[in-house]
Amino acid sequence: MTSSTLNTQLAMLVDDAVAAQRIPGAVLRIEKQGLCVFEQAFGRHNVERDIAQQPQDRFFLASATKPIAASVIAAVCDDGLLDLDSPPLRQLPQLHRLSLRDGERVRAPKLNEMLSHMAGMFGVHGASEQQKKLLWNFDVPLATAVERILAQPLDYPPSKSFSYGGASILAAARAAEIATGQDFEQLLRTYITAPLGMSDTTYRPHAGGRRRPVSPLYRPQQDRQSGFERSKFQPPGKDAALLLASGGLISTAQDLARFIHMHIKAGVWNNKPVLSPTTAVRCHHDHGHGLVRPQKANETDDGVLRRARGYGLGWTLQELNADGNANVIYHSGASGSLLWADLTTGLNIVLLTHVMQTDLSELWDAIVKTSKEL
């Protein structure tokens, strides 16, 4: 099949999703071995004003933030200011006092466990409403949010179970702030966005006088037949106190393709190390100890993105080798975003959209399967 035919198929996949009112708009960018082989915008950036989506538009990433946040913290470890294999006790002495719900005392989680959802802290599933508010209260700064998170009992001892969420990554981000004396936005700029030239990636939507606004978040109308309405949740405004390190980044498809390519090249960008080779490999290594299971809708479900076999430092992992290192890394977000890479072929996929409360797994799967033929 020719590349022209494949590009047409890819465009049809996203066009059909827009036409079916599954998404208001999107940007899809695909690279292979560092070269852009497909980039196109679809649908609308702003539904109410009928403004078309543009390739350079900025999007809220939600949980697709996690690989970037983890890479920032890993880079701090490369500088010797934190240690992936030790608990950050000097920065977070509260880790000395953690216990389970029944009061049993447990050891402090290591930093790599905090970045791979193996720390024992509460996750998305089973969290109380109070715990959920600890992650999404934008009226309190990160330091206060983490104090309150660490006052919660652990759900299980560190390393004994996988529980996906954002609490432990927020705590790790706070440890990095204390270790360096910089806030996490500064750390993002120092270690990732400045070296990679990711000029449109930030936790602060209004920072730097950026020209294009962030694509607003929408959700389907209740009858799912009448288009979209604004989601109650929108990217935090300029006065927000909380920097949501685990899920609050704003970025573009071009910026994110640079970040993914750096990981494909084992931490190197333009012949300069952003992460050490050893640390880059650890980002793609399974820290889940075989506890991460494929998420399938049913026994016949063969969805590409529901074959998760492990979790690294901020990355979901597939195709693990005998050493536990992944050939495929990816992460998705609740706003419809997807970052995906094949480390062996250099295929790099970024899909950004801005719709909440919608299952886009079929679209993600179709894009990945089609892109593999490019």
Q: What digits encode the pLDDT tens for the residues 352-362?
A: 999 997 899 99
Confidence of residue 204 (pLDDT cuts 50, 70, 90): confident
**309: Cβ contacts below 8 Å, ≥ 6 apart:** 286, 292, 294, 317, 318, 319, 320, 326
Q: What digits encode the pLDDT tens for the residues 226-235?
A: 689 999 999 8
Residue 116 is predicted with a pLDDT of 97
Angle at 246 between CA 56 and CA 203, to 5 degrees: 40
Residue 334 is predicted with a pLDDT of 94
Residue 207 is predicted with a pLDDT of 62
Rg of the chain over all Cα atoms, to the nearest angstrom? 20
Residue 224 is predicted with a pLDDT of 59
Residue 298 is predicted with a pLDDT of 42
Confidence of residue 209 (pLDDT cuts 50, 70, 90): low
Q: How far is CA 3 from the centre of its chain?
A: 29
Mean pLDDT of the region 162-189: 97
For residue 215, which of 13, 12, 27 has the smallest C-alpha distance? Answer: 27
Residue 300 is predicted with a pLDDT of 44
CA distances from 215 to 30, 93, 249, 251, 352 (A): 20, 40, 13, 10, 10
For residue 355, which of 34, 33, 43 has the smallest C-alpha distance? Answer: 43
Mean pLDDT of the region 152-169: 96
Confidence of residue 205 (pLDDT cuts 50, 70, 90): confident
C-alpha–C-alpha distance, residues 178 and 175, integer Å: 5
Confidence of residue 208 (pLDDT cuts 50, 70, 90): low
Is the model's pLDDT at 170 over the cut of 80? Answer: yes
Pairing of strands 35-46, 25-32: antiparallel
Instruction: Give the other-Cβ count within 10 Å of 278's Cβ.
Output: 11
Mean pLDDT of the region 242-253: 95
Residue 225 is predicted with a pLDDT of 63
C-alpha–C-alpha distance, residues 28 and 261, integer Å: 16
Phi, psi torsion values for 273, nearest 5 degrees: -75, 130
Angle at 360 between CA 357 and CA 366, to 5 degrees: 180
Residue 269 is predicted with a pLDDT of 98
Helix (H/G/I), strand (E/B), else coil: 222: coil
Instruction: Give the other-Cβ count within 10 Å of 11's Cβ.
Output: 14
Confidence of residue 290 (pLDDT cuts 50, 70, 90): confident
Residue 236 is predicted with a pLDDT of 82
**Contact present, 108 and 88 (Cβ < 8 Å):** no
**313: Cβ contacts below 8 Å, ≥ 6 apart:** 70, 71, 73, 74, 84, 112, 115, 116, 282, 283, 285, 287
Percent over 70 (pLDDT), the chain: 93
Q: What digits encode the pLDDT tens for the residues 297-310?
A: 444 445 655 666 89
C-alpha–C-alpha distance, residues 177 and 12, integer Å: 44
Please count the CA atoms within 13 angstroms of the CA of 94 that sit on its side-chain side: 16
Is the model's pLDDT at 368 over the cut of 90? Answer: yes
**Contact present, 367 and 346 (Cβ < 8 Å):** no
pTM to 2 decimals?
A: 0.95
Q: What digits encode the pLDDT tens for the residues 53-90?
A: 999 999 999 999 999 999 999 999 999 999 999 999 99
**Contact present, 98 and 152 (Cβ < 8 Å):** no
| Structural domains of the chain ordered from first start | 3-65+184-371 (3.40.710.10), 75-180 (no CATH)
Q: Is 367 left (phi over 0), alpha (psi -120 to 50) or beta?
A: alpha
Q: How far is CA 289 from the centre of its chain?
A: 21
Q: What digits encode the pLDDT tens for the residues 76-134?
A: 999 999 999 999 999 999 999 999 999 999 999 999 999 999 999 999 888 999 998 88
Candidate ranges 1-10, 11-20, 240-249; pick with highest mean pLDDT? 11-20
Please count the CA atoms within 13 angstroms of the CA of 307 that sit on its side-chain side: 15
Mean pLDDT of the region 139-157: 96
Average pLDDT, the chain: 92
Residue 222 is predicted with a pLDDT of 73
Tokens standing for residue 317: 């992992």
Is the model's pLDDT at 296 over the cut of 70? Answer: no
- DSSP string covering 36-86: EEEEEEEEEEETTTTEEP-TT-BEE-GGGGHHHHHHHHHHHHHTTSS-TTS
Mean pLDDT of the region 325-337: 96
